[in-house]
A and B are shown apart, each in its own frame.
Chain A
Amino acid sequence: MTPATAAPPPLPSPHPWAPVPFEVRERAAETVDTVTLSLAPPDGGVPPLAFRPGQFNMLYLYGIGEVAISLSGDPGRADRFVHTVRAAGKITQALQRVGLHATVGVRGPYGGGWPVEAARGQDVVLVGGGIGFAPLRPVLYELLHHRDRYGRLEVIYGARTPKDLLYYEEIQGWRARPDLRFQSTVDTAGREWHGDVGVVTTRLPECRFDPPRTIAFLCGPEIMMKRTAEALLARGIPPDRIWVALERNMKCALGICGHCQFGPEFICRDGPVFRYDTVDRFLSVREL
C-alpha cells in the first residue's frame, strides 16, 4: 500500500520523540494566514535533508508544542526543509509569527509519500485544494526536473479566493510553460480575477490524458478528493491509479499514539498517501 521506494529515515535524534533545533533561513508570507518557512540546521553541519514528496515533519516551537506539517519544497534540494503552514490552531498560528533566524524544532521526515516513480512514462494529473496544494508542490518540482520522463502533465489547484493562492509568482511561471497545463480556480472572486471560478472538478474537462496510462495525485479536503476521484474514475482512470493524501490528528508520527488511525491504517506510518481503492470504502463511513 505504501509506495515501493523506501522513504528516507527520520533525522538522527537522541530520542525518537525529541525535536532537532533548526533555524529559519527564509520566510515568505504567502497569504494573510499562510507562511512558507525554509529550515536548515543552525550550524550548517547537515546530514542531507532528503525527503520524498508527500512526507511530513513534526514542527516544534519551544514551550508551545508540535504539529505535523507536510514538506512543500524541492526534493532536489537536500540543504533545507521547506514547509508551508496555514494558521489553524495554536501552534500553526504561532508558526506564522516566527522570524528569520528563529529556532523551529524538527523531527522527521515521516510517512511514505507519493509514488512518484510510478508516474514514469505516464500522464500525470495533480489536483490540490487549499493548503493541500503544498504537499503536491514537491511532486511538481520532481516531475519538472525530469520532464522528459513523463507524459502529459495536468495540474489543477483550487483556492478560496485569488488572494488565497499560494506560490503566486511561481504559478505564473508554471502557467507559462508549454509542457504543463496549470489551471487554478477559486471558490469566489471579484472583478480583478480573470481566471476560473468554481470547484476543481469543473476544470477536469479541460484536461487531456490517456486514462489507462495516467496516474493522479489528489490532496485537499476529503469531499474534494472524493468528488475529484469520482470524476477521474468516470473519465476512465483505474481506481488503483488514483492516490489521495489523508489527514487525521497526528500526535506522535511514530505509529504509537493511536490518534491518526483510519480503519486499519495509521495515517502517519502507513500514509499519509494512500491508493484510492484501498481507502474509498472507509471514506464513506461516518466518524471512522
Chain B
Amino acid sequence: MTASRTRPGSDLPLAEHRFFHGMDPGFLSELAAHAYAREFETGSLLVREGDPAEEFLLIFHGKVALEIELPDRPRRTLQTIGPGEVLGWSWLVPPHRWRLDGRALKPTRALGLSASHLRSALEARPEQGYRFLLRLVPVLAQRLENTRIQLLDLHGAPR
C-alpha cells in the first residue's frame, strides 16, 4: 500500500497549481520551501481512513478515487479528483485524521505540504491564512453540494 515515493518538490511548481493561482508570491515561496513531491502507483493509497492527516496534497497528474471501505459491503467510490484539485481538509479540522481513503486510479503525482508547517504558516500570517481559506472553503462547499446532488440520485428512476 505504500507504493509511493517522496522527493523534493522542485519540478511541481506550487504557484502553478490552480488552487494557488494569484496568491501572494512571497507567501507561496515560503510554502514551496517546505513542499515535497509525491508519486503514487496505480492502486496505491494516498491517504487512508483513520490515519493521522499530516499533509495537504495538491494533485498535478493522475486521478484519485475517494472511497469508503466498510466490512460488510462492497467498497464504494464517492468521488474522483484529478489535476488541479486538492486532497483533504482533515489536516485542518480536528482530530486531524483522514475520513476517507484516497486511492490512485492511475499513476498520480502530487505536491505535499506538511500539515504542521502549513498550520503554523497560516497562523503566523492571518491575512494570507484568510486568503487560503477563501480558496479552501469553496472546495468544501462545492464538494458538499455535489454530494447532495449525488444523494438525490437524479439519474435513477424517480421515486
Contact at A187–B75, with CB atoms within 8 Å? no
For the complex, what is the distance from the CA of A194 to the CA of B65, rounded to whole Å?
Answer: 9
Contact at B75–A198, with CB atoms within 8 Å? no
Contact at B156–A223, with CB atoms within 8 Å? no
* Chain A interface SS verdict (over half): mixed
Is A20 engaged at the interface, CB distance under 8 Å to the other chain?
Answer: no
For B74, B75, B77, B156, the residue with the greatest tally of chain A CB atoms inside 10 Å of its CB is B77
List chain B residues, Cβ under 8 A from A185: 80
Contact at A198–B146, with CB atoms within 8 Å? yes
> Considering the complex, which residues of chain A in the window 124-140 have a beta carbon less than 8 Å from any beta carbon of chain B?
129-131
Interface residues on B, range: 20 to 34
B143-159 vs A, CB cutoff 8 Å, 1 = contact: the mask equals: 00010011011111110
Interface residues on A, range: 20 to 34
For the complex, what is the distance from the CA of A58 to the CA of B38, rounded to whole Å?
Answer: 56
Contact at B76–A189, with CB atoms within 8 Å? yes
A18-51 vs B, CB cutoff 8 Å, 1 = contact: the mask equals: 0000000000000001000000000000000000
Is A158 engaged at the interface, CB distance under 8 Å to the other chain?
Answer: yes
Q: Smallest CB–CB gap between B74 and chain A, Å? A: 5
Q: Smallest CB–CB gap between B157 and chain A, Å? A: 6
Contact at B154–A220, with CB atoms within 8 Å? yes
For the complex, what is the distance from the CA of A158 to the CA of B146, rounded to whole Å?
Answer: 13
For B77, B78, B84, B155, the residue with the greatest tally of chain A CB atoms inside 10 Å of its CB is B155
Contact at A193–B77, with CB atoms within 8 Å? yes
List chain B residues, Cβ under 8 A from A224: 149, 154
Is B88 engaged at the interface, CB distance under 8 Å to the other chain?
Answer: no
Shortest Cβ-Cβ A-B pairs, 6 listed: A130-B155, A160-B155, A221-B154, A187-B150, A197-B77, A197-B80
A-side residues, CB < 8 A to B, are: 33, 86-88, 129-131, 158-160, 164, 185, 187-191, 193-199, 201-202, 205-206, 220-221, 223-224, 227
